[in-house]
Amino acid sequence: MHIIVVGCGRVGSELANRLYQKGHQVTVIDQTASAFNNLPPDFRGRKVEGELLSQEALHRAGIKEADGLAAVTNSDSFNVVVAHLARTAYRVPRVVSRNFDPHFRPLHEAFGLQVVSSSIWAAEQTEQLLCQAPLRPVLSAGSGEVQMYELIVPEGWQGRFLQDLISEGQCLAVALVRGDRAALPASSTKLEAGDLLYLSATAQGMEVLRKRLNLSPEE
């Protein structure tokens, strides 16, 4: 895919490099040449210096042939205008706008844009880690026969193995998040306190899990 990243700050440079490493054709636009220093030395995508709202800069970046565009500057107004222009004037198939200040999220939504709000997401995740119960349902499948749960691994399970926690056949570990990294866990995975486990389980499987964790049904 040919993807344009508008803004080469911390988010833009990280996004551009991730896309480049996955084999996409990436062009980064920024109005300040020094911003491209945020990119790693091995980045071989295109760099276009120019005004972010300039059609000339967008044309040099190849917007007419672009498959996707991400407007990720720290200005909500810039992001909304560029994203709206890309979607309506240039018919770019996939457009994403970054919401920098949560107070301006309604602006993005008013234009019907796909929006990512890192501040809101980070606040929600932090709140959950601070305040949520150790185990909570996040998704129900069918008529509730199988549900997905989030589990924060308690201190007492530090260093123990995943296979000791889950009930085979009734509970399945879908993902493990440690820090800012997610992975598909194996039964031999050694747990750390504070790990976030995503589990898919039947009611019977969860009953066994709660007993192993010494949790009441309300928890």
Q: How many Å apart are CA 136 and CA 167, to the nearest integer?
A: 17
CB atoms within 10 A of CB 62: 14
* CATH for the 132-213 domain, from 3.30.70.1450, 3.40.50.300, 3.50.50.60, 3.30.300.130: 3.30.70.1450
Q: pLDDT digit of tens for each residue in the chain (219 aa)?
A: 999 999 999 999 999 999 999 999 999 999 999 999 999 999 999 999 998 888 899 999 999 999 999 999 999 999 999 999 999 999 999 999 999 999 999 999 999 999 988 888 777 667 666 665 677 888 877 767 888 888 889 888 999 999 988 877 788 999 999 988 899 999 899 999 989 999 998 888 888 888 888 875 554
List the chain domain ranges: 2-123, 132-213
Tokens of 169: 């056949």
Ordered DSSP codes for 107-142:
HHHHTT-EEEEHHHHHHHHHHHHHHS-SEEEEEEET
Secondary structure class of 161 (helix, strand, coil): strand
Cα radius of gyration rounded to whole Å, the chain: 22
Tokens of 8: 């080469």
Q: How many Å apart are CA 120 and CA 127, to the nearest integer?
A: 10
pTM as predicted:
0.65
Class of domain 2-123: alpha beta
Amino acid identity of residue 216, one-letter, is S
Q: How many Å apart are CA 150 and CA 67, to the nearest integer?
A: 35
Secondary structure class of 119 (helix, strand, coil): helix
Task: Let me know: does 92 contact 66? Beta carbons within 8 Å.
Answer: yes
Q: How many Å apart are CA 58 and CA 51, to the nearest integer?
A: 9
